[in-house]
Amino acid sequence: MIKYPSVDDVIEVNKNVLKEIKVRKADRSALMPSGRTILERIVDDIKGTGTDVYDKAVTLLKGLLQRHPFESGNRRTALVVTASFLEINGEELNIAHDTNILQGIRERYYRDEEIKDWLKGGEIREFKRGIY
124 within some domain: no
| Domains identified in the chain, total number | 1
Alpha helices (H) along 1-132: 7-20, 35-48, 53-67, 74-88, 99-106, 112-119
Q: Given this model, what pLDDT does residue 20 score?
A: 81
Residue 125 lies in a domain: no
- Look up the CATH number of the domain holding residue 71: 1.20.120.1870
Q: Is residue 92 part of a domain?
A: yes
d(CA 70, CA 67): 9
Assessment of whether the complete model's pTM goes beyond 0.85: yes
Q: Is 18 contained in some domain?
A: yes
Could you tell me if residue 2 is inside a domain? no
Residue (of 49, 48, 42) closest to 67 by Cα position: 42
Establish if 103 belongs to a structural domain.
yes
Q: Walk along the chain (132 residues) and give the pLDDT tens digit of each residue.
A: 999 999 999 999 999 998 887 666 567 778 999 999 999 999 999 999 998 999 999 999 999 999 999 999 999 999 999 999 999 999 988 887 788 999 999 999 999 999 999 999 989 999 987 655
Residue 130 in any domain: the answer is no
Phi-psi region of 90 (alpha: psi -120 to 50; beta: other; left: phi over 0): left
Residue 13 within a domain: yes
By CB neighbour count within 10 A (0-12 exposed, 13-18 middle, 19+ buried), where does 25 fall? exposed
Tell me which residue range forms the domain holding 67: 7-119
